[in-house]
Chains A and B, each alone.
Chain A
Amino acid sequence: MTSTRKGLTLLELTIGLFLVGGAAVIYLQSMQSSRQKNEFYSEHFIASIMAAKVVEACFQETEINPYGVEALGLADGNGKPFKFSTLVTDGQTSFFKQPEITKDKTPFLYNMFQKDFMLNITTENSSTRHFTLNTAFKWKANTGPGAFHYDCRFPGYSAKKEVQTTYAFPESKLEKKVVERIFEEKNKNLGTIVSSPATREVAMATGRIYFTCAGMMNSTAFSSALKRAEEIDESGCPPTDPRYGEATDLFFSVARDVLDVLVFLQPHIETINKDIGTTDSLNLRNRSRLELYIYNSTMGLEEIKKLFFVCVHEAASRYRALMKASQDIRQQRAIIQRCLDMHRLMFAAREFADGAFTSGAADTIIKSEYYEFLADLEKYFSDKDQTIVRLAAQEKKFAQSNLLTKRYFACDLVEKIFATLATLKTKLPEIDPGTLDPKSDVIGKPLGDGTRSGALTWAKDQMTNGTGEGINTNNGLKVKDDIAAWNNWCLAFVSTAWGRKINELMEMSAITTYENFKKAGKIKTDKKPPAGAIMYTGPTGGNPHGHIFLATGKYNSDNDPIVITTGGPGLDGVTEMPLSQLVSWCNASYLGWTLPPDAK
């Protein structure tokens, strides 16, 4: 009989159950272990990504902001690093604010980071070159506590930057140039002309300033950049036109070149400012020559400063418009960095920006445009780029607390350059323009010879001690016959003194001749007319023609120019008097002066 067993024996069943149970236990343990390890790796992985995000955020911040470490809250106002330890959820750290890790938006991440997931950042400022950031995450996982960290360096803010200018006058040629051009000597050492070492330094500094500025102003690249920029500017092309960008870059390059020259010259401006008093040790001729060059260098720098403000303001203004036209955030960041540098410099030196604008107070314009720019940045980038928002907020704080000069070497330097220049201006000597050699061949003649010395010599010859031979062709009179020969004939007198050779003076009224010169841009309004210059006062109720007279090139003790004028009501003859007295006599306002070239 064959019996076929249909069931399992108890032994088989037991073995089977053991095997299945064993497999189940191994399976469950492996699963449990795998789950824990996966969780551990997952948390480690996320920590690594998050730490990389912190590193990237620091990179983004410090790329555009030299005080980025401070803006991120990792260092205090003095650059002293903080230790930083915080949770990363619900916007508790600036690194994870955009997007925020919240229960609603990112529940998985949120739950994970709630497990004592701490971000610790230790910053060291061990060198001026950099900050070292240790970005660490520590957490408590089911598998035990986890930890992860990255080290990375970020730029620290170094106070200095070297300036290179291609316009610096070569040192090897400077002494020879100073000797020849300033002191009118040849084949001599400066030491044989100027014995005082301090004065020699002043002379060399003056030469460096003057000849460097001359080199810049005469450079073809510099002049053509300015010319082209102005041409495009006048064409009024919009920011979308490529020429707009071209002009912007040209204004920037001019401002850059000017600033580099000013920074290069800064120690030399200081030298003159410190030792200008030592020029007294020179003989009269050398002193007057050096003083003339100091005067011209300082006043030239003063005008160059205005050019700097105009160009830098124009460039900043145009970059702002270009930023609006650009949709590339990288390009916008680059523009912002450049614009901020320009605004910072203008803001720091705004006190010295007089003459940079034709209307409105420079200080107010610069200040309001800067704040407006910062407000625009804060508003526009609030949902796009937090680095810029933080930068703008930080910048506003710097500006409001007058910290720009403390924070940025260039701002401090530029402010100092302009302040020194302003001080130097107050110390400038009065420039003695010298005297014209008298023209003996016009003495006793009916009119001058068309030169300025001829005009002056002839005019003096019509005064009380002169021959009085000049003829007023309008009335046929001479002073020698009638002291009032030129009374009320001021234009005829000046025109005759100039030999009746100046076309602009061939008019019926003095004020018309003034208009002629003014239209040609030849009128100067200061009270420093050179000898022989033609001067004007304006019309009055009783005299609609205005008044014209001549400068002697001399000044009284109040620095009032001495002029030669014809007579009129209450004043007979041709007379010398200070300008202020003449203005008072005419009861008219002073208009200015012009000096025509000698007639050909």
Chain B
Amino acid sequence: MKIKKRGYVFPLILLATISIAFFIITLVQLQSSHHNQLMHLNSYQQALNVAYSVNVDIIGEIREKQWANRFFKGKPVIRTGQKLFGTTYDMAVEDHEPDKCTFNVKIRTTIGEKRNLFYWRQRYVPNMLDFTRVSFPVFFGEFPPELFEPAKKAEIDKLVDDALQKAADNQNKVTQIVKNISTKPTPQDILKELGAIPPGKSSTDIQDSAQPRPAATKPPTKESTATKPKTSDLVTEIRTFIDPLDTQSFPVAGKNICGSDLMIRDAPWGNVIGQIPPYTGGVQVSGLQGDFFEVSYNGKSGYSHINYVEVPGHTPSGIEPPRPPGAPPPL
């Protein structure tokens, strides 16, 4: 008797082995991918946390030393191989436009093999009325880590400048888009306006897109109804105490506005050494001493009272000044 074998076992073993191998490989890959994803997320968040923390410290340092004495004034400060929270980082901070109180901060973090470069352009707020605000970011972005190197400064600054310029160029367009969509009654209309419907889709494919948008609520905050003095009246009042004359530049041409001869004295409240005829111009005014202009007229140099001499930016009161206490009596 001849038995014909069909060979079940070997293919079965082979098949089972291959299936199990593939299955295990798939599982391992899947777990590895989850692990990598988690590590990547954690390491990026860690890098961002470290960069943010370093930036907080930089702002704290500016605040302690104040803007005029900032630690990077006039020359960039670069610190490499620093450690924070177990992460290594390099930091560079430098003035951008000091007259506008702007400065750049570059922070490059290294976690394992992974490097990230974060860039802030910030503006220091030097006024006291915004006293809780030390600075605000003008720009924040992430760049290839090699751009941290000082030799690449121009390159990275240009990228930032271009991005800011682009944003400025687009500002009107953005404002117009916002204005246009603000009046659209449904999400569907907004998607149409923005051209944001994917190819092959229609706006009706998007759930509830034809439903009217809920009305926007507004904060109840409002203007004050309290009445205040006019600022121009206050300025007039201030000027009764603070004479605008003190910012006058000399020499200037002046004029006697007095209806009678104006005295030229040898010193403030000193002896009379000459006169300027009524309503006469061509008086050279070269300085201010006490309440008297230093004047020269017709070869005579001396002092005439500011109440009677008109110069650009100063309208004399024309009021006769009293002789101050302690001034020598007239001869």
**Chain A residues engaging chain B, CB cutoff 8 angstroms:** 1-5, 8, 12, 15-16, 19-20, 22-23, 26-27, 30-31, 33-34, 37-38, 41, 44-45, 48, 52, 55, 59, 66, 127-130, 132, 148, 150-156, 158, 160-164, 177, 180-186, 210-211, 213-215, 217-218, 223, 226-227, 229-230, 252, 254-256, 259-260, 263, 283-289, 292, 295-297, 299-300, 303-304, 306-307, 310-314, 316-318, 320-321, 323-325, 327, 332, 337-338, 340-342, 345, 355-360, 365, 369, 373, 376-377, 379-380, 408-410, 413, 432-437, 450-453, 530-532, 553, 595-600
- The answer to whether B53 touches A151 (Cβ under 8 A) is yes
Taking CB atoms, residues of chain A closer than 8 Å to B52 are 59, 152-153
Q: Is B154 engaged at the interface, CB distance under 8 Å to the other chain?
A: no
- Option from B128, B134, B227, B230 in Cβ contact (under 8 Å) with A357: B227
What are 11 A-to-B residue pairs whose CB atoms are below 8 Å? A155-B134, A160-B63, A217-B242, A217-B244, A256-B127, A284-B326, A307-B231, A341-B133, A409-B131, A597-B319, A598-B259
- The answer to whether B246 touches A130 (Cβ under 8 A) is no
Nearest-CB distance from B273 to chain A (Å)?
Answer: 16
Nearest-CB distance from A395 to chain B (Å)?
Answer: 11
Main secondary structure of the interface of A (DSSP, over half): helix
Taking CB atoms, residues of chain A closer than 8 Å to B67 are 162, 164
**Apart from the given pairs A252-B129, A342-B129, 13 other A-B contacts in the complex at a CB distance below 8 Å:** A45-B38, A160-B63, A214-B246, A283-B326, A284-B326, A288-B324, A307-B234, A320-B224, A324-B218, A341-B131, A359-B227, A377-B221, A597-B319
- Nearest chain B residue, comparing its CB with the CB of A599: B259
How far does the alpha carbon of A317 sit from the alpha carbon of B46 in the complex, in Å? 42
With A285-B324, A452-B320 already in contact, the answer to whether A20 and B16 are too (CB < 8 A) is yes
Of listed B38, B68, B221, B325, residue having the most chain A CB within 10 A: B221
Taking CB atoms, residues of chain B closer than 8 Å to A3 are 1-3
- Nearest chain B residue, comparing its CB with the CB of A251: B231
- The answer to whether A128 touches B64 (Cβ under 8 A) is yes
How many residues of B are in contact with the other chain, CB < 8 A? 102
Q: Is B217 engaged at the interface, CB distance under 8 Å to the other chain?
A: yes
Taking CB atoms, residues of chain A closer than 8 Å to B80 are none
- Option from B31, B133, B231, B246 in Cβ contact (under 8 Å) with A337: B133
- Nearest chain B residue, comparing its CB with the CB of A55: B49
Q: Is B201 engaged at the interface, CB distance under 8 Å to the other chain?
A: no
With A153-B53, A162-B67 already in contact, the answer to whether A286 and B326 are too (CB < 8 A) is yes
- Option from A48, A128, A254, A376 in Cβ contact (under 8 Å) with B60: A128
Taking CB atoms, residues of chain A closer than 8 Å to B224 are 313, 316-317, 320, 365, 369
- The answer to whether A16 touches B131 (Cβ under 8 A) is no
- The answer to whether B56 touches A320 (Cβ under 8 A) is no
- Nearest chain B residue, comparing its CB with the CB of A454: B320
Taking CB atoms, residues of chain A closer than 8 Å to B326 are 283-288
Taking CB atoms, residues of chain B closer than 8 Å to A48 are 38, 41-42, 45
Interface hits, B290-330 → A, CB 8 Å: 290-292, 313, 317-327, 330
- The answer to whether A155 touches B60 (Cβ under 8 A) is yes
Interface string of B1-39 (1 = CB under 8 A from A): 111100011001100100110011001001100110110
- Option from A132, A182, A310 in Cβ contact (under 8 Å) with B231: A310
- Nearest chain A residue, comparing its CB with the CB of B237: A303
How far does the alpha carbon of A219 sit from the alpha carbon of B16 in the complex, in Å? 91
Q: Is B223 engaged at the interface, CB distance under 8 Å to the other chain?
A: yes
Q: Is B74 engaged at the interface, CB distance under 8 Å to the other chain?
A: no
- Option from B1, B229, B257, B318 in Cβ contact (under 8 Å) with A1: B1
With A45-B38, A184-B289, A408-B132 already in contact, the answer to whether A214 and B30 are too (CB < 8 A) is no
Nearest-CB distance from B42 to chain A (Å)?
Answer: 6
- Option from B132, B241, B292 in Cβ contact (under 8 Å) with A299: B241
- The answer to whether B241 touches A303 (Cβ under 8 A) is yes
Taking CB atoms, residues of chain B closer than 8 Å to A217 are 235, 238-239, 242, 244
- Nearest chain A residue, comparing its CB with the CB of B327: A285
Taking CB atoms, residues of chain B closer than 8 Å to A52 are 45
- Nearest chain A residue, comparing its CB with the CB of B316: A597
With A227-B232, A324-B222 already in contact, the answer to whether A23 and B45 are too (CB < 8 A) is no
- The answer to whether A324 touches B220 (Cβ under 8 A) is yes
- The answer to whether B289 touches A365 (Cβ under 8 A) is no
- The answer to whether B238 touches A230 (Cβ under 8 A) is no
Taking CB atoms, residues of chain B closer than 8 Å to A152 are 49, 52-53
- Option from A153, A288, A408, A451 in Cβ contact (under 8 Å) with B131: A408
- The answer to whether A307 touches B318 (Cβ under 8 A) is no
- The answer to whether A164 touches B126 (Cβ under 8 A) is yes
**Chain B residues engaging chain A, CB cutoff 8 angstroms:** 1-4, 8-9, 12-13, 16, 19-20, 23-24, 27, 30-31, 34-35, 37-38, 41-42, 45-46, 49, 52-53, 56-57, 59-61, 63-64, 66-68, 85, 126-134, 182, 216-224, 226-232, 234-235, 237-239, 241-247, 257-259, 267-269, 279, 287-292, 313, 317-327, 330
- Nearest chain B residue, comparing its CB with the CB of A438: B330
Of listed B239, B279, B292, residue having the most chain A CB within 10 A: B239
- The answer to whether B320 touches A230 (Cβ under 8 A) is no
Taking CB atoms, residues of chain B closer than 8 Å to A598 are 258-259, 318-320
How far does the alpha carbon of A154 sit from the alpha carbon of B223 in the complex, in Å? 34
With A180-B288, A341-B131 already in contact, the answer to whether A214 and B247 are too (CB < 8 A) is yes
Nearest-CB distance from A282 to chain B (Å)?
Answer: 9
- The answer to whether B64 touches A321 (Cβ under 8 A) is no
Taking CB atoms, residues of chain B closer than 8 Å to A306 are 229, 234
- The answer to whether A600 touches B53 (Cβ under 8 A) is no
- Nearest chain B residue, comparing its CB with the CB of A227: B232
How far does the alpha carbon of A303 sit from the alpha carbon of B289 in the complex, in Å? 26
- The answer to whether B231 touches A150 (Cβ under 8 A) is no
With A130-B57, A151-B85, A436-B323 already in contact, the answer to whether A41 and B35 are too (CB < 8 A) is yes
- Nearest chain A residue, comparing its CB with the CB of B259: A600
How far does the alpha carbon of A2 sit from the alpha carbon of B267 in the complex, in Å? 149
- Option from A256, A292, A596 in Cβ contact (under 8 Å) with B129: A256
- Nearest chain A residue, comparing its CB with the CB of B67: A162
Nearest-CB distance from B238 to chain A (Å)?
Answer: 4
- Option from A12, A373, A434 in Cβ contact (under 8 Å) with B322: A434
- Option from B4, B38, B60, B232 in Cβ contact (under 8 Å) with A230: B232
Taking CB atoms, residues of chain A closer than 8 Å to B245 are 214
Taking CB atoms, residues of chain A closer than 8 Å to B321 are 434
How far does the alpha carbon of A254 sit from the alpha carbon of B238 in the complex, in Å? 15
How far does the alpha carbon of A20 sit from the alpha carbon of B56 in the complex, in Å? 61
With A153-B57, A184-B289, A252-B129 already in contact, the answer to whether A210 and B246 are too (CB < 8 A) is yes
- The answer to whether B4 touches A226 (Cβ under 8 A) is no
Taking CB atoms, residues of chain B closer than 8 Å to A127 are 60
Taking CB atoms, residues of chain B closer than 8 Å to A596 are 319
With A59-B52, A303-B238 already in contact, the answer to whether A2 and B2 are too (CB < 8 A) is yes
With A127-B60, A153-B52, A317-B223 already in contact, the answer to whether A16 and B12 are too (CB < 8 A) is yes
- The answer to whether B226 touches A357 (Cβ under 8 A) is yes
- Nearest chain B residue, comparing its CB with the CB of A533: B319
Taking CB atoms, residues of chain A closer than 8 Å to B259 are 450, 598-600
How far does the alpha carbon of A99 sit from the alpha carbon of B61 in the complex, in Å? 36
Taking CB atoms, residues of chain B closer than 8 Å to A316 are 224
With A12-B8, A217-B244 already in contact, the answer to whether A256 and B231 are too (CB < 8 A) is no
Taking CB atoms, residues of chain A closer than 8 Å to B257 are 600
- The answer to whether A259 touches B127 (Cβ under 8 A) is yes
With A184-B290, A357-B228, A599-B259 already in contact, the answer to whether A259 and B129 are too (CB < 8 A) is yes
Nearest-CB distance from B321 to chain A (Å)?
Answer: 8
- The answer to whether A373 touches B221 (Cβ under 8 A) is yes
Taking CB atoms, residues of chain A closer than 8 Å to B219 are 323-324, 332, 376-377, 380
How far does the alpha carbon of A379 sit from the alpha carbon of B220 in the complex, in Å? 9
Taking CB atoms, residues of chain B closer than 8 Å to A321 are 221-223
- Nearest chain A residue, comparing its CB with the CB of B234: A307
- The answer to whether A452 touches B56 (Cβ under 8 A) is no
- Nearest chain A residue, comparing its CB with the CB of B242: A300
Nearest-CB distance from B153 to chain A (Å)?
Answer: 26
Taking CB atoms, residues of chain A closer than 8 Å to B134 are 155, 161
